[in-house]
Amino acid sequence: MDQAEKLRELVRNKEKNVGDKLQYKNAKVFAITSGKGGVGKTSLAVNVAAFLSKIGKKVLIIDADLGLSNVEIMLGITPNHTIRDLIKNNKDIKEVITKGPFNLDFISGGNGFLEMAELSDVEREEILIKLQKLDEEYDVILIDTGAGISKNVISFLMVADEIIVITTSEPTSITDAYSVIKIVKDKIEKPDLGIIINRVKNIIEYKKASSLLINTSKDFLEMNIKNIGFIYEDSCVRNTIFKKTPFVIYYPDSQATGCIKYIVEKLEFNYEEKTSGLITKFRSWFKNVGR
Ligand SMILES: Nc1ncnc2c1ncn2[C@@H]1O[C@H](COP(=O)(O)OP(=O)(O)OP(=O)(O)O)[C@@H](O)[C@H]1O
């Protein structure tokens, strides 16, 4: 079965226990998702991408928040094409890549098109199959999904090697993150899942949020969820929009940049040897955090 056929089967199959995960030969594919909107998915994607690019990796960001794309705003560039052109104008995937600043490539999800939020299964499948062509071109592909749960979001999660759920320390943001995790568990066989808590004011708040996340459900501890880290509440993050530059580049010594560096290490991207033993699963993490 070739890659496209395997992907078709995977995407069509909505039930657990059937699809094995798509294996990429080259690129490591991360999908960044959340329960609530506005919790920091795009800030994370753009800055992790910029950090990886700075250390010499070939990185692509896919803005899969279809119809509400923000990556171009953070990078201060107008894309010539968007994901919409893949399906509405039958463009090839390579034609819709925008060469951004800081050696970053991205694909815009387009802005202001309701039809992008209402794609048919066939259109969605077409996008995912076309994305396969990029496997050889990049070391890392970061997919910035929309918030919440929709068919669009689930499709992109299905083709990721690892799913990163980002939440703030707000209780409702945490319970929504947990709902997303539950749905992912339901739809995807043995997903690789990691959590990031964003906009943390101090370590005490981080520990409280972690405990709440773990206490949200008894079966949480049974899940193999990686604690990837946290990001401080930091005005540098907001300034990304005004400076049109990722904060890891504009503010290399900021607290938030330190957090991104740590997160990149935890993502194990070509850091396997350096970080082996560092990866914390929630179970052991919880012991340290305490109830
Ligand atoms: N750690 C942080 N400190 C300060 N501000 C932050 C932090 N993280 C995100 N923000 C701010 O929160 C807002 C939303 O962030 P962002 O656009 O990255 O979220 P999102 O999850 O991608 O949103 P959407 O769901 O709308 O796509 C932005 O103004 C951003 O600057």
SS3 content of the chain, % helix, strand, coil (to 5): 45, 20, 35
Ligand 1 atom with least separation from CA of 44:
18
Question: Residue 282 — very low, low, confident or very high, per pLDDT cuts 50/70/90?
Answer: very low
The region that residue 229 occupies, defined by phi over 0 for left and psi between -120 and 50 for alpha, beta otherwise, is: left
Check pLDDT > 70 for residue 34. Answer: yes
Ligand 1 atom with least separation from CA of 241:
31
Question: What average pLDDT does the structure give for the chain?
Answer: 83
Helix (H) or strand (E) holding 272: helix 272-275
Question: What does the buried/exposed string (b/e) look like for 6-37 if buried means 16 or more CB atoms within 10 Å of the residue's CB?
Answer: bbeebbeeeeeeebebbebeebbbbbbbbbbe
Residue list, ligand 1 pocket, CB within 6 Å: 34, 37-43, 65, 70, 147, 198-199, 231, 233-234, 237-238, 256
The number of beta carbons lying within 10 Å of the beta carbon of residue 108 is 28
The verdict on whether residue 56 carries a ligand-binding annotation is: no
44 CA from centroid of ligand 1 (Å): 8
Check pLDDT > 60 for residue 157. Answer: yes
Q: Six-digit token pair at 171? A: 């209780």
Instruction: State the architecture of 3-289 in CATH terms.
Output: 3-Layer(aba) Sandwich (3.40)
Question: Residue 9 — very low, low, confident or very high, per pLDDT cuts 50/70/90?
Answer: low
Question: What does the buried/exposed string (b/e) look like for 160-195 if buried means 16 or more CB atoms within 10 Å of the residue's CB?
Answer: bbbbbbbbbbeeebbbbbbebbbbbbebbeebebbb
User: Which residue's CA lies nearest to atom 13 of ligand 1?
Assistant: 38
168 CA from centroid of ligand 1 (Å): 10
User: Which residue's CA lies nearest to atom 28 of ligand 1?
Assistant: 238
Contacts of residue 220, defined as CB under 8 A and 6 or more positions apart, other chains included, come to 178, 213, 214, 282
Strand blocks (E) in 35-179: 59-64, 98-99, 105-107, 140-147, 162-168
Helix, coil or strand: residue 40:
coil
- Name the burial class of residue 230, with classes exposed (0-12), middle (13-18) and buried (19+) by CB atoms within 10 angstroms of its CB: buried
User: Which residue's CA lies nearest to atom 11 of ligand 1?
Assistant: 238
Amino acid identity for residue 36 in this structure: K
Of 33, 39, 43, which is best to mutate to test ligand 1, by the most ligand atoms within 8 angstroms of its C-beta?
43
pLDDT in tens, 236-253: 999 988 999 999 999 999
110 CA from centroid of ligand 1 (Å): 19
Amino acid identity for residue 6 in this structure: K
Check pLDDT > 60 for residue 139. Answer: yes
Dihedral sign computed on CA atoms, order 178, 184, 190, 191: negative
Question: What does the buried/exposed string (b/e) look like for 249-281 if buried means 16 or more CB atoms within 10 Å of the residue's CB?
Answer: bbbeebebbebbbebbbbbbbeeeeeeeeebbe
19 CA from centroid of ligand 1 (Å): 33
Ligand 1 atom with least separation from CA of 256:
1
The verdict on whether residue 36 carries a ligand-binding annotation is: yes
Q: What pLDDT score does 191 carry?
A: 83
Contacts of residue 40, defined as CB under 8 A and 6 or more positions apart, other chains included, come to 34, 166, 168, 198, 199, 231, 237
Q: What pLDDT score does 7 carry?
A: 63
80 CA from centroid of ligand 1 (Å): 25
Helix, coil or strand: residue 149:
coil
Q: Six-digit token pair at 112? A: 């202001």
Give 250 or 11, the one with higher predicted confidence: 250
The verdict on whether residue 110 carries a ligand-binding annotation is: no
